[in-house]
Structure 1
Amino acid sequence: MSERNTSIDIAKGLGIILVVFGHNWIIAHNHGELFRIIFSFHMPLFFFLSGAVLHQDTAFRDFLVFKADALLKPFFVVLSAWGLARIVLSGVDAHTYVLGMLYATGNTIEWVPLWYLPHLFLAMLLAWSVLHLANRVHAGLLLPVVCISILLAAGIVVTRICSQLDVQQFASLHLWLGNRQHDFPGLPWSLDLIGISTAFILLGYVMHDYVMRFRFQSWVFIVALLLFAALHFFFDETIDLNMRQYGTWWIATAQAMLGIYLLLSVSTCLQYAGKLGMLLAYLGNSSLFIMIFHSWIEWKVFALLARWSSYDYLNASLALLAGLLIPLLLLSLVKKHKFLYILLLPKAHTPRLRAET
């Protein structure tokens, strides 16, 4: 699985645009229909694409070290630096901040989108373990396919249990971790979501060959689009993993898979779109860095613009651009600075592992 597929990079680029847009004031201020549409598939998309480029034949130690370097290192470096500034300048309680960072869910860290990094690390390790076991027992793709159903079902059940817990029982935990949402923060590193995320990772792995040879088919695209629209019109379920929300299982899952298919179809067409395709591919290659920094940047820019302009939608649109472009500028600076490169970007351990990112 060492191929580099431009359409996957473009899909990641479109996906990260949806992530940034999903955290923008336009979407977040009322959680309306656009929110429900975007959130119904944009996070499953990233798990799916991670699985599509997963290498199960990599030695576990190499896989573990590379994933820790790529995902855990920037998580702890960024939040540690931010925490130091908050503790020194704003008087934030150091003990609570550190415990919240180590617990590492969206409720216990100040840069909420970063919950994704340690959770993806755990999910990738579980997916690797399932695939390694399948290889050891010569089960081929049968075991991963069975595990997709089991993990997804278990993940949905656990997510619903967590969403229905009495928040009053966790009052001391809220104080201990600095939980700002005041509902159940989930298990450490969002372990309660691992069934859902790993199922989509394994689905991406199982469909690797199909994804790599993906071809746009107009009639299938139209049918998928109509089904996606119909499900949202009649049922309108959505998925918000950070908030432990997963709609009616078959509807939410169907919407997620249809959304993934539609975005892959668009990505396949855009790889022939010249400079636009190149730009989206570059965004896709930089998606992890954008994931880390976008939210804080776009909300700070929005707040700054709001001081000078009362046009919220214009301010939010400019903030959206800032949330995409400023992280790219920061990335270019980090690449030129050896110390920052070591702190924030993964090392290239092997060519095969490097092809995953």
Structure 2
Amino acid sequence: MIERNPGLDTSRGIAMLLVVIGHNPILADMSPTLINFIFLFHVAAFFFISGFLIKPDGVDFNKLFFRIIAPFLLFGAALSLVKALVRKEDALLAFIGVLWGTGATSSSSQLWFLPALFLTLLSAQWIVGRWQRNLGLMAKCIDLAIILLLAYGALQLPDPPVEMLRRPGVAGSLGWIWNIDLVPVALLFCLVGHLVASNRLLAHVPMWALLVISILATVSVFILGARTDLNMRVMSPYLLAMIGGVAGAIMVLMLGQLVASTEILASFLTRVGRHTMSILLFHILFQNAALNILGRLAPHPSSSVALTGATVGVAAGLLCPMVGAMILDHYMPILRRILQQKG
């Protein structure tokens, strides 16, 4: 069984922070290069870290469903209904778009990640179970090479004939139901993470050396032109983008290990890492709300004001969902006791 590394929550917190930054429209306008660099590896880091947590003794399907798919469906359905009513759109069509589950059809683009994560974890669990039957490292690497080719082929698939499900104003690839065309890519990152963890492939290299090497590798492939946006089905050039994703994921992991040795910063990022679901669901809503308020207060901002607004937007997108989840965590046991007493 793979033991959970104490720095994984911190690493997840760093990855979540990068997601919020990557979805900040002000920073996207001010520094598209920074956003493109973040997009090269921030989602890959989540799948990579998920591979560290896969256990060979099986997965609880019901627990996984209620932890990932239930929030996806509840939040997506509620948001799609509200948006359909406000914009006077077809509510049924919007709800079907949520069920389709891609970034172009869901009520909020980031929701694509959840069904993709669900299918990836199920697939990874099956493969890891197969790997436990005394398969050697070479056989596992052959499996990864096959998945690498399948992932490339899946990215070349044409859009399905369901254009009517596309949200108004959303461009780019429509994607297949529940992002099954992205699952091989996500599965590759996940299995590489599991292979690294289960074989302790990074254990004999100093942490600082791994951090420097991963930074240099990630920056190098980015300079060479590697670009990734999984929601848009972009990985170009494919092999360079894959290398950038793995290198960037290792970079995030190493940063998490280093930060875990601190106190204040580690405590904050650990909380972020433990509340990634609420932040993922709500960060765009809170970030956009904060930016809309700032836009009304300063309709013609200077560069310094814009940077301040970007910082406030990121803080709102990160802190508001996290604080809300922490409050819910605090009062939920109390509510359960009250309900048990009444029952």
Identity of aligned residues (%): 24
Q: Which residue of 2 aligns with 1:352?
A: none
Q: Which residue of 1 aligns with 2:225?
A: 236
Q: Which residue of 2 aligns with 1:287?
A: 276
C-alpha separation between the residues in 1 aligned to 2:127 and 2:68? 20
Q: Deviations over 1:96-150 (max 9, x none)?
A: 1111011000000121111100110011111111122333x53255544322221
In the TM superposition, 1:241-320 aligns within 5 A as: 241-309=230-298, 310=301, 311-320=305-314
C-alpha separation between the residues in 1 aligned to 2:253 and 2:268? 16
C-alpha separation between the residues in 2 aligned to 1:159 and 1:31? 27
Residue pair 1:99, 1:177 contacting (<8 A) in 2 also: no
Cα–Cα, structure 1 residues 214 and 293, in superposed 2: closer, same or farther, change >3 Å? farther
C-alpha separation between the residues in 1 aligned to 2:131 and 2:88? 51
Residue pair 1:10, 1:270 contacting (<8 A) in 2 also: yes
Q: Give the unaligned 5+ runs of structure 1.
A: 343-357
Q: Which residue of 2 aligns with 1:16?
A: 16
Residue pair 2:22, 2:38 contacting (<8 A) in 1 also: yes
Q: Which residue of 2 aligns with 1:175?
A: 164
| 2:261 partner SS | coil
Residue pair 1:302, 1:319 contacting (<8 A) in 2 also: yes
Q: Give the unaligned 5+ runs of structure 2.
A: 337-343
Residue pair 1:100, 1:179 contacting (<8 A) in 2 also: no
C-alpha separation between the residues in 2 aligned to 1:10 and 1:4? 12
Q: Deviations over 1:301-335 (max 9, x none)?
A: 11111110223222121010000100012202332
Q: Which residue of 2 aligns with 1:324?
A: 318
Residue pair 1:216, 1:268 contacting (<8 A) in 2 also: no
Alignment pair present for 1:101 and 2:103: no
Alignment pair present for 1:186 and 2:183: no
C-alpha separation between the residues in 2 aligned to 1:28 and 1:207? 33
User: 1:104 is matched by which residue type in structure 2?
Assistant: G
CA drift at 1:289: 1.7
Residue pair 2:81, 2:94 contacting (<8 A) in 1 also: no
Aligned length in residues: 329
TM score, norm. by length of structure 1: 0.84
Residue pair 2:45, 2:250 contacting (<8 A) in 1 also: no
User: 2:266 is matched by which residue type in structure 1?
Assistant: G
Alignment pair present for 1:154 and 2:128: no
C-alpha separation between the residues in 2 aligned to 1:288 and 1:202? 22
User: Which of 1 and 2 has higher RCO (CA within 8 Å, sep 6+)?
Assistant: 1
| 2:104 partner SS | coil
1:204 to 149, 169, 193: 193
C-alpha separation between the residues in 2 aligned to 1:81 and 1:337? 23
CA drift at 1:69: 1.0
Q: Which residue of 2 aligns with 1:139?
A: 135
| 1:239 partner SS | strand
Cα–Cα, structure 1 residues 325 and 150, in superposed 2: closer, same or farther, change >3 Å? same
Alignment pair present for 1:56 and 2:53: no
Residue pair 1:105, 1:115 contacting (<8 A) in 2 also: yes
| 2:150 partner SS | helix
Alignment pair present for 1:78 and 2:75: yes
CA drift at 1:89: 4.5
Residue pair 1:144, 1:202 contacting (<8 A) in 2 also: no
User: 1:147 is matched by which residue type in structure 2?
Assistant: D
Q: Deviations over 1:323-351 (max 9, x none)?
A: 01000122023324549x99xxxxxxxxx
1:113 to 110, 113, 116: 110
Residue pair 2:227, 2:241 contacting (<8 A) in 1 also: yes
C-alpha separation between the residues in 2 aligned to 1:241 and 1:69? 24
Residue pair 1:215, 1:265 contacting (<8 A) in 2 also: no
Cα–Cα, structure 1 residues 331 and 160, in superposed 2: closer, same or farther, change >3 Å? same
What CA RMSD, in Å, does the superposition of the two structures yield over aligned residues?
Answer: 2.5
C-alpha separation between the residues in 2 aligned to 1:86 and 1:265? 40
Cα–Cα, structure 1 residues 187 and 118, in superposed 2: closer, same or farther, change >3 Å? same
User: 2:208 is matched by which residue type in structure 1?
Assistant: S
Residue pair 2:105, 2:165 contacting (<8 A) in 1 also: no
1:125 to 122, 127, 151: 122
